[in-house]
Chains A and B, each alone.
Chain A
C-alpha cells in the first residue's frame, strides 16, 4: 500500500509554454501533498505544501505565480509550470502524507526539460 504515482515521467517542452505534472495517491487519501525540486547531484528542495481544498503554502523564494499548485481532491495534486524557461529544467518529485503513519510517500519523479 501507499503508492504515489506521477505523470508524466518525462516531458520536454519549448520555452514559453506551460507544463502540468500530476501527482496521485493510488491507494490512500492524502491529507497533504508536497512538491520538491531536485537539481542534478543535489538534494531535494521543498517547493510547496498543499492541502486538499486550500491554497498551497510556498517556500521562500518559490514563485507561486510560476509554479501553480492545485490540490483538488484527496488523491490528486497538480503542479503547473507556467511560461517555462530552460532554468526550470529539473527533476520534480511529489510526496503525499496520509493520516496516521509519520511518513511521506514519494512519487517516482518527473524529469522536465525546457528547450
Chain B
C-alpha cells in the first residue's frame, strides 16, 4: 500500500524567503514521486517528478526536491519565494503510473 503525508496544511513565507514544503511517503516498492501545483479553479500542473534517477530533482519555476530513501521523504524547496508561487501544492506517489496517491495538500501563502 502506498500513501503520502504532507506536514502542514498551510505554510506562509515572506517574499524572497526559502520555501520548504514537506512530503513523506509510504511505499512497499520503489516509488515514483511527484509534486503538483494547483491554482484556484484550475487543474494540476506538474512541478517535478522522481523516477529513480538522480535523487535531486529540478523542476519548473525554480523548484526542486530531494528524494531521501532513508527518511522516506521528498520535500519541495525553492530558495526565494515569489508572489506568484502562492497556490496549493500536492505531493503524490505512484508505483506503476496508474494509481496515484495524493497528499492532502499544502496551501502556500507568500507575504509581500
Q: Which A positions have Cβ atoms within 8 angstroms of B?
A: 4, 6, 32, 34, 41-44, 46, 49, 91, 93, 95, 97, 102-109, 111
Contact = CB atoms under 8 A, between A and B. Distances in A.
Interface of B: 32, 34, 36, 41-46, 49, 51, 90, 94, 97-100, 102-105, 107
Question: Majority SS of interface residues in chain B?
Answer: strand
Given A44-B90, A102-B51, A109-B42, A97 B97 contact: yes
A109 B104 contact: no
Contacts of A107: 43
A46 to B, nearest CB: 7
Contacts of A34: 100
B98 A93 contact: no
A68 to B, nearest CB: 21
B97 A43 contact: no
B103 A43 contact: yes
A42 B34 CA distance: 18
30 contacts: A6-B43, A32-B98, A34-B100, A41-B105, A41-B107, A42-B104, A42-B105, A43-B90, A43-B102, A43-B103, A43-B105, A44-B44, A46-B99, A91-B41, A93-B43, A95-B100, A97-B97, A102-B32, A102-B49, A102-B51, A102-B94, A102-B97, A103-B34, A103-B46, A104-B100, A106-B36, A106-B46, A107-B43, A109-B42, A111-B41
